[in-house]
Amino acid sequence: MSSDYINALLKKPIKRTPVWVMRQAGRYLPEYRHSRKKAGDFLTLCKSPQLACEVTLQPIERFDLDAAIVFSDILTIPDAMGLGLYFSEGEGPKFSHPLNTLKSIEKLAKSSVGDKLTYVSDAVSMIKKSLNGKVPLIGFSGSPWTLATYMIEGGGSKNFSKAKSLMYKNPAHMHQLLDKLALAVIDYLNGQIESGVDSLMVFDTWGGLLNKPSYEEFSLRYMCKIVEGVRREYAGKTIPITLFTKGGAMWLEQIADSGCDAVALDWTTEIKDAQQRIGNKVALQGNLDPCVLYASPERIRTEVQKILTQFSGNTGHIFNLGHGILPDINPEHVRVLVDSVHEFGVQNNN
């Protein structure tokens, strides 16, 4: 299957600029809310391959998107490691057994978590079958650092003081944890590849919390291990990998040097600056501010056009938001976004 999304990641010729949306299957879609209600809660939705498949396809059926992303969550790995993930309404993710002692880090199973995550590989197989080659399927994981922050904090946090204090007070234990997570992530992503995903993305949502040396030591180093550890060629196809560090503008060169195929940008970097810095080495994904989708259709079209005209060249750009879509966005505004990328982006119909 030749697709503009994969070709753009590999900097090969494309027919049109591809676009997908982070969290494209989510609460802003009424059909998602319906499926979630049917499941009872978010985690049951993730753990039912049939329902995960159903919601993965919803944005693909509604909009002219160029890729699908497996419906799951980055926190399934810590859940499989025994931390007891749950979501309390309006409060985001929580763990009933956070890593709050050094012993709990040492005790954390090193063994593969793959057998506890078969619901994800089952979902991938089912989604691939249902997509029937229409668009490629993205598999994903959290970065070890981002997973570690949730596991130590026991959920989200304002300043991540527990995770950062472990990093400063006891770096050896932090490295022990990050090592275990990197192995689990590599296993998990390779499992997704074997089940059929066409590309990978690693979400490092909280790498931007770190200063320069800490980012390199505690976040980037482990993403590099993942880039090295996953299968980049499988069943005759190249599996491109995209790295996303939110707030990562300072490290674009180092991220591009990891050996990844693409760097995903949040909205704080101008894409032309990013392209000047690293554009020859890797493809770029992004980077519309998700809040632009609150504005009028005219304004959305203008902002999309601004990003597209900044990017020079005929391939190597995958349009996306700079972070996940927010739950109160009007779905019709997503249509405006997707259609205007195709209208104003690269068009090569010969």
Q: Does 71 bind ligand CP3 (CB under 6 A)?
A: yes
Where does this chain touch ligand CP3 (CB under 6 A) — which range of 16-24, 221-229, 231-239, 279-287? 16-24
CA–CA distances in Å: residue 247 to residues 115, 153, 167, 251: 34, 20, 19, 9
- Given the residues 16, 41, 62, 73, the one annotated as active site: 73
Q: Does 120 bind ligand CP3 (CB under 6 A)?
A: no
DSSP H helices, the chain, are 4-9, 30-39, 42-47, 49-62, 76-78, 102-107, 118-131, 144-153, 161-169, 171-195, 212-214, 221-229, 252-256, 271-278, 297-310, 331-344
Query: Can 266 be counted among the known catalytic residues?
Result: no
Q: In the complex with ligand CP3, which residue's Cβ is closer, 147 or 346? A: 147
- Taking the C-alpha atoms of residue 287 and residue 107, their distance in angstroms, rounded to an integer, is 40
- Taking the C-alpha atoms of residue 143 and residue 181, their distance in angstroms, rounded to an integer, is 8
Query: Can 150 be counted among the known catalytic residues?
Result: yes
Q: Is 311 helix (H, G, I), strand (E, B) or coil?
A: coil
Q: In the complex with ligand CP3, which residue's Cβ is closer, 207 or 345? A: 207
The binding track of 316-345 with respect to ligand CP3, each residue x by CB under 6 A or -, is --------x---------------------
Q: In the complex with ligand CP3, which residue's Cβ is closer, 52 or 252? A: 52
Q: Is 326 helix (H, G, I), strand (E, B) or coil?
A: coil
DSSP H helices, 19-131, are 30-39, 42-47, 49-62, 76-78, 102-107, 118-131
Q: Does 69 bind ligand CP3 (CB under 6 A)?
A: yes
Q: Is 140 helix (H, G, I), strand (E, B) or coil?
A: strand
Q: Is 86 helix (H, G, I), strand (E, B) or coil?
A: strand
Where does this chain touch ligand CP3 (CB under 6 A) — which range of 19-27, 104-112, 166-174, 313-321? 19-27
Query: Can 27 be counted among the known catalytic residues?
Result: yes
Where does this chain touch ligand CP3 (CB under 6 A) — which range of 67-75, 163-171, 235-243, 285-293? 67-75
Q: Which residues contact 249 (CB under 8 A, 6 or more apart)?
A: 265, 266, 268, 269, 274
Q: Does 156 bind ligand CP3 (CB under 6 A)?
A: yes
The binding track of 176-205 with respect to ligand CP3, each residue x by CB under 6 A or -, is ---------------------------x-x
Tell me the catalytic residues: 23, 27, 36, 73, 150
Residues binding ligand CP3 (CB under 6 A): 22-27, 36, 42, 69, 71, 73-75, 92-93, 140, 156, 203, 205, 324
